[in-house]
Amino acid sequence: MAKVKTKWVCQNCGYETAKYLGKCPDCLSWGTIVEEEICVVNTKTSSLSLQNINNNQKPEMLSSINFNQNDGIKRQKSGIEEFDRVTGGGLVLGSLNLIAGDPGIGKSTLLLQVCSNLAKNGLKLLYVSAEESSIQIKLRANRLNINSDNLYIYSNTNFELIEKQINELKPDILIIDSIQTIYKSSLGSVSGTVSQIKECTLSLMQIAKTLNITTIIVGHVTKDGNIAGPKILEHMVDSVFYFEGDKYKSYRILRCNKNRFGATDELGMFEMEEFGLRQILNPSELFLNKHQKDDKGTSGSVVVATNDGNRPLLVEIESLVGITPYPSPRRVANGVDYNRVLQILAVLEKRVGLNLSKQDVYVNVSGGLNIYEPASDLGIAVAILTCAYDIVFDPKSVLLGEIALSGDIKNVTNIEKRILEAQKLGFSRIIIPKQQNKKFKDYQIKIVEVEKLKDVVKLCIQKKKVDIT
């Protein structure tokens, strides 16, 4: 008979203690330490036995390991270009991947569409749903027009039974939805606890590596946007992907935070429609309003060339400046860093002479996208300044550059990619920081190099005279 003991475990960081503590000494969280029952079982009968591990394996010298670069990493492409871009060219055979996101964001929909495409390639897939019944998944598949003989659906929360089906079916692709809802009966704790998540993930990793099954596990996130459960969960898997989006917006972003087999600075864009997710191959058009293509434009509206990961994006930044009816003026920033906006306002007052101490300032990124890189500083400054003086900035121009406290325009990364993106979308001019000892090749778009914020003000504002101190 198994011996049962208990321990207190922090559900946030996995810290273990022998007694209850109100505050976790490791992560300093309150009320996260919960008592868990630990069932000590015989390792000979445990599902974690070493039966599939080669006990005759010995250490090898690095120089003696033969490795063919072409055959070393085999990928399984889904056929969804945006998904394959983020994964580094497709899912690696035998890898363990984690996809996390807010409830209802579309994780199950995305994975079901990926399964449909992989099944068309002749791969056998097992979709294990621990949250929905098979009927519910069938209804979603009908809505997405998905029907395949290579896709198997299994609804269960018991890991031992799931493992039995894996051994019998031997799929090429395994999907677990979600890791927080499955449990091992050998452990006394409930599903979702630190012990259950660690043990189940460890077993899935062993299955993926020994049976060469590409495994995808779905993870919940906390209210702070972090993956629920211990941080070690992210260290155990080969890759971590976040599926982000606003429930009030139709677009979704698949972002890579960790990838042992590819770059971590890629992102994929999708749009949620009635019949599933549609990939957006040119996301810049999503965040640009129609009036940007006109010759009129709007005061307080500019286009900046930002860089999200390794992908250039052109987004519209809007600003509204008005007299405040309150004793203290309001500063509102949506989609940009609030403290960054305050810093830009201070630079505008000191270096340009724009005093907004009695006016409300609102800054917003069109489309609901969040951009936090310093390259958007110049766009924010020009948007605020043009709205304050009610002047229209050239709608065919693009801005990029970081603003220093001295008023200098500092250089940013991946300038040539941003120039090509602006040129592709039909813009006629791009304003960039002054380059040192760098010559650009011939572009169809006009490139204007600036050194100080004053130069940008003189260059952009022509319809009304502005006193620059």
- Structural domain of residue 235, as residue ranges? 76-281
pLDDT in tens, 402-425: 999 999 999 998 898 899 999 988
**Residue 101 pairs with which residues in a beta bridge?**
243
Q: Do 323 and 420 share a structural domain? A: yes
- pLDDT band of residue 188 (cuts 50, 70, 90) is confident
Omega within 30 of 0 (cis) for the link into 148: no
pTM: 0.76
Neighbour count for residue 208 (Cβ, 10 Å): 22
Say what the pLDDT of residue 320 is.
95
- pLDDT band of residue 466 (cuts 50, 70, 90) is very low
- Written as one string, the DSSP assignment of 207-265 is HHHHHT-EEEEEE-B-TTSSBSS-THHHHHSSEEEEEEE-TTSSEEEEEEEEETTS-SS
Last residue of a domain, one of 253, 281, 309: 281
Say what the pLDDT of residue 259 is.
92
Contacts of 416 by beta carbon, 8 Å cutoff, 6+ apart? 440
| Residue 6 domain-assigned (yes or no) | yes
- pLDDT band of residue 282 (cuts 50, 70, 90) is confident
| Residue 54 domain-assigned (yes or no) | no
Say what the pLDDT of residue 56 is.
64
| Residue 313 domain-assigned (yes or no) | yes
| Residue 119 domain-assigned (yes or no) | yes
pLDDT in tens, 216-246: 999 887 666 666 666 678 888 999 999 988 7
Last residue of a domain, one of 281, 315, 330: 281
pLDDT in tens, 117-135: 999 989 999 999 988 999 9
Q: Do 86 and 18 share a structural domain? A: no
Q: Do 200 and 84 share a structural domain? A: yes
Q: Do 234 and 118 share a structural domain? A: yes
Q: Do 385 and 251 share a structural domain? A: no
Q: Do 324 and 276 share a structural domain? A: no
pLDDT in tens, 434-452: 886 677 778 889 999 999 9
Q: What is the mean pLDDT of residues 359-382?
A: 90
Q: Do 233 and 107 share a structural domain? A: yes
- pLDDT band of residue 10 (cuts 50, 70, 90) is confident
Q: Do 310 and 441 share a structural domain? A: yes
Q: Is the pLDDT of residue 387 over 80?
A: yes
Q: Do 275 and 127 share a structural domain? A: yes
| Residue 22 domain-assigned (yes or no) | yes
CATH code: domain of residue 352: 3.30.230.10
| Residue 66 domain-assigned (yes or no) | no
Q: Do 320 and 227 share a structural domain? A: no
Q: Structurally, how many domains does the chain consist of?
A: 3
**HSE of 196 in the Cβ direction (CA atoms, 13 Å)?**
24
CATH code: domain of residue 255: 3.40.50.300
Are the CB atoms for 91 and 75 separated by under 8 Å? Answer: yes
Say what the pLDDT of residue 47 is.
45
| Residue 363 domain-assigned (yes or no) | yes
Q: Do 237 and 194 share a structural domain? A: yes
pLDDT in tens, 38-83: 655 444 444 444 444 455 667 888 778 776 655 557 889 998 999 9
Are the CB atoms for 277 and 245 separated by under 8 Å? Answer: no
| Residue 118 domain-assigned (yes or no) | yes
DSSP 163: H
**Residue 249 pairs with which residues in a beta bridge?**
none
Report the chain's C-alpha Rg in angstroms: 27
Please give the Cα distance from 368 to 283 (Å, whole number): 13
Last residue of a domain, one of 281, 306, 331: 281
Q: Do 124 and 93 share a structural domain? A: yes
Q: Is the pLDDT of residue 211 over 50?
A: yes
